[in-house]
Amino acid sequence: QNLSAGMAVAGVLVLARSVRMTTKFTRASDIPVAFVEKNVKLRGKLHHITEKGMEVEHIPISIPFITLIQRKWQSKGLLLVRLAGVELAPGGMAWLQRELKPKQMIWFQLLGRENSALECLVLVNKGRFLSVCLNEEILRQGLGRTARIEGLHHDSRLYWKLHKRLLRAELKALKKNKGIWREESYSERIRDRISNNKFVQTLKQFTSWLRGS
């Protein structure tokens, strides 16, 4: 009897875990706290890229019998996913919209949750064995700056491990003068100085007046 009871309890625990892993999350608040604390990686389908973040449809693990039952009562909705540790520059969102395709599959690793948004590391497959972390790629392109990783404890090992990765990516853009770190060339600086010179501006106004006369 004890053995049967133990097996029954184990079966219930396995079933409960399977239900949680196959549940489709449609709101950030639906995701269990344990998932966020353990930095679980989830899969999703990209729908929109907005100023607030990426709107992603969660695609859970599929288990034939359980998934079939759950589909009948699962609600619809999109998760708001943000690139953790990155402050996007003006051209950052446009770059994401060019690089990512609608309905593209992505992976997002949970780092924190703030109100209705999820702070994540976002990974995109670029081949059979290659994936790119968008958080780092944005910084490598010079289209953002490193920022505090919301949701992670500031003194945790994981926080500083990820923060160092992001800083290294930002440093590469700085060294290559890419994006927001691009410095004006000598000729561009001379042209700007000439165009901003008061005498040149007065001469342009006088020329325009002559043409109008």
- What residue spans define the domains of the chain? 20-199
> Residue 37 is encoded by which pair of tokens?
């604390």
Helices and strands (H, E) in the chain, number of each type: 8, 8
| CA 97/CA 51 separation, integer angstroms | 11
CB 61 within 8 A of CB 119: no
**Averaged confidence pLDDT in the chain:** 81
Q: What digits encode the pLDDT tens for the residues 116-173? A: 999 999 999 887 778 899 999 999 999 999 999 988 888 899 999 999 999 999 999 9
What is the pLDDT, as a whole number, of residue 8?
Answer: 41
> How confident is the model at residue 210, as a pLDDT?
73
Here the tokens at position 26 are: 């449609």
d(C-alpha 209, C-alpha 211), whole Å? 5
What is the pLDDT at residue 198?
A: 66
Structure confidence at residue 153 (pLDDT): 87
pLDDT at 22: 74
Positive or negative: CA dihedral 67, 70, 72, 74: negative
Give the whole-angstrom CA distance, residue 139 versus residue 178.
Answer: 10
Read off the pTM: 0.73
CA dist 58 → 102, 117, 139, 183 (Å) = 14, 14, 26, 41
DSSP state of 3: H
Instruction: Please list the ranges in the chain whose pLDDT falls under 70.
Output: 1-21, 62-75, 184-201, 203-204, 206, 213
20-199 is classed CATH 3.30.1300.10: no
| Spatial distance between the Cα atoms of 141 and 131, rounded to a whole number of angstroms | 17
- Whole-angstrom distance, CA of residue 117 vs CA of residue 29: 9
Pairwise CA distance, residues 140 & 120, whole Å: 18
Amino acid 76: pLDDT: 79
